Structure 1
Amino acid sequence: MTAPVADPNARWGDLKKRVISAIFMLIVGVSELWLGGMSFNLMVFALTGVMFWELANITAPGHIRTPLAMGVIAAACLAGAVLFRDDLASTLLILPGLALALTPRRDRRIATVYGIAIMVAGYGLIDLRGPGVPAILWIICIVIASDVAGYFVGRVVGGPKFWPAISPKKTWSGTVAGWVGAVLVSLIFVALGYAPWLAVAVAPVVAFAGQMGDIAESWIKRRASVKDSSNLIPGHGGFLDRFDAMIGAVVLIMLLSLIASLPMPTPLGG
């Protein structure tokens, strides 16, 4: 019996909608990044709320109202943290994660920790955008370069898996390629005069944090037996699927900034 021939177009069946979604997200992201201020803040509030809803939904399937309420609470708490800053910021950023721990769901501890990470990342995006575009653009470029380099080198070179039990497709070759891509991004920022040389040394660490953010979200989805965090983005899954690495990278930056002053890119003349 002859085996059925696979449709060569099946692999690329969703390419059109993936490209359209990517272009739309790029236009919105670049526009908001350039605008900054309240417009950018509102986008981050909404993004944080949606990602929190996705997390609450995949860890408590079948509950419609609770995840939606969690998303609204997360967005409101982030807005409050940005408004009140040092006075109540820490409490408001932790509060939605604690709410996850107090409601029926699987993997409460994991959901709580990741929920707090989402909140810190949202706060960090706004905090990093405050002084200007270079710092947050540097992080975004590192995450993208790390992801793209890791994907292609991992596919072409292959080799030992990085963490097969959680993310079976990731390889050590792709991981190292991601670090190299992060270094190259920082070298460009240094050459343009936006970043000090020490930023080159920090870049692989930021890239690795992004990679761990990706793996953490993959772990949560694997335990929940779902492929995507949601189906909100045609061809791409959910917002957590697209911003998981950014969460890891921004959280690391925020934690390190509590310890020491980081060699971050700044506006020219800043």
Structure 2
Amino acid sequence: MNKLILSALVAGAAFAGFMSAQIAQSAEAGSTSITTPAQISFLVTLAGSQNDDNIQSRNPVVVELFTSQGCSSCPPADMLASRLAKDSSLLVITRPVTYWDRLGWKDTLAKEDNTRLQRAYAEKGLQGSGVYTPQMVVNGGGGAVGSRENDVRSLVRLAQKASAPTIETSRDDSGQMIVTISGKTRHMAGVSLIAMSSSEKVNVGRGENGGRILHYTNVVKAERNLGSWTGEPVSFVLNNQDINVYGADKYAIVVQQPGAGAIIGAKLLEI
């Protein structure tokens, strides 16, 4: 009889322990639906980073294509540039170069300034650097063969935008456009106005692409250095001549560190 009572007492204690554990687990599980101060802090930080991303997205990543009408490998890259240009988070700039003119066809869109810029990028020895076509350089940093979309998009994802300035436009009483740049930076940067032709079609008469009709997107027509930005708010006035370049129908502001450095900001203007 005593053994029977003892067994009952042990079983009851075990059951009580089991129920206590279940109650504790339920209480603990229920507590996860309550936002603790630590969780609130995490959510605020996350929301802040998302807001920062939204702000940064106003500054598109700049993709510069170095290409040539005399390069038989370039047409696929020219077509990729056209596709990338449809992405509003990117600013695609086509920069035809001059060094393949010796192959029998003088590039009708090429500029020596484009060739010099590519050489300046190459001298930095960054990823994918070199003087070759087709080449896409992302935000003045790493480069890739211009027809390799996956490589280019990988560079776009890695592009640093944390220090992107705010670029705003307005009109004064006379109707002139005013570009204002503000934000924070640890380095001086140059501010350029780039005039582009959104679409060009070229009938190539000779050379490696002889007999082909090539299409180009956002081809540089002219560039003008507006001044510099050091972190303090600064404004630049664009006169009618600045935004009426012959052959151009698209204009962009690019903020770039000196010596073909990193591009830290850009904006396509609404003319």
TM class by shorter chain equals under 0.3
Q: Based on CA coordinates, which of the two structures has the bigger radius of gyration?
A: 2
TM-score (norm 2): 0.24
TM-score (norm 1): 0.24
